[in-house]
């Protein structure tokens, strides 16, 4: 198999996958080193394919399907963060990423790709181990989420549910 064929197989596997695939798993399936897969993914990304690198592996960017919107949220506790994320996934949304504004660097963004309570629980456990890494800690809990939703109506439902729970950020007038 040549490099172009290998990249085609990687793209096919990512398209079919229900969960992120690690470079090690892909390398094992293809009979190449992990570094070869990392290079292939870099070339696929450079060619315009939207592939996200998550802590659990590579996946196609979920915002490529359905409706994408951004919400400004705020929370100050882990329980509120869990409630915020559960609210999104329970309504059929995917929390694609989190972003904050930083006075030195501008916008800082982290990929999340949380699509289920299982994903949220895994993220909450990781956050408990490294709470200093949460981007929202830099901004007093204020942050943006890109959401991927099946329809605009689902996005509006999520927005209304977060608003009802007091988890949407509203600039004080």
Kindly list the domain boundaries of the chain, sorted by start residue.
3-60, 67-165
Q: What is the pLDDT of residues 65-98, one digit of tens each?
A: 578 889 999 988 889 999 999 999 999 999 999 9
User: What is the share, in percent, of the chain residues with pLDDT greater than 90?
Assistant: 45
Question: Whole-structure pTM over 0.85, yes or no?
Answer: no
Q: Give the CATH number of domain 3-60; options: 3.40.30.10, 2.60.40.1940, 1.10.10.10, 3.40.1080.10.
A: 1.10.10.10
With tokens 């916008």, the residue in question is 107
Res. 123 pLDDT band, cuts 50 70 90: very high
More confident residue, 155 or 131: 155
Write the burial class of residue 128 (CB in 10 Å: 0-12 exposed, 13-18 middle, 19+ buried).
exposed
145 is an annotated ligand-binding site residue: yes
CA distance 168 to 12: 38
Instruction: Give the class (CATH, top level) of 67-165.
Output: alpha beta
CB 92 within 8 A of CB 56: no
Is 14:59 a contact under the CB 8 Å cutoff? yes
Q: Is 61 annotated for ligand binding?
A: no
Answer yes or no: is 122 a known binding residue.
Answer: no
pLDDT value at residue 25: 93
- Mean of per-residue pLDDT scores for the chain: 88
pLDDT for residue 62: 64
- Annotated binding residue 75: yes
């Amino acid at each position: 198999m040549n490099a172009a064929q290998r990249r085609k197989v990687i793209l096919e596997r990512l398209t079919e996958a229900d969960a992120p695939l690690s470079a090690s798993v892909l390398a094992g399936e293809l009979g190449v080193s992990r570094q070869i897969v990392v290079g292939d993914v870099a070339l696929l990304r450079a060619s315009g394919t939207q592939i996200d690198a998550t802590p659990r592996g590579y996946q196609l960017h979920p915002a490529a399907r359905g409706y994408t919107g951004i919400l400004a949220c705020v929370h100050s506790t882990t329980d509120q963060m869990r409630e915020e994320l559960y609210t999104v996934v329970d309504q059929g949304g995917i929390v694609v990423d989190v972003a904050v504004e930083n006075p030195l660097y501008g916008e800082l963004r982290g990929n999340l790709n949380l699509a289920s309570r299982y994903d949220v629980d895994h993220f909450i456990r990781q956050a408990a181990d490294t709470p200093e890494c949460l981007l929202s800690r830099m901004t007093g809990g204020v942050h943006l989420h890109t959401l991927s939703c099946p329809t605009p109506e689902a996005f509006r439902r999520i927005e209304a549910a977060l608003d009802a729970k007091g988890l949407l950020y509203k600039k004080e007038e």
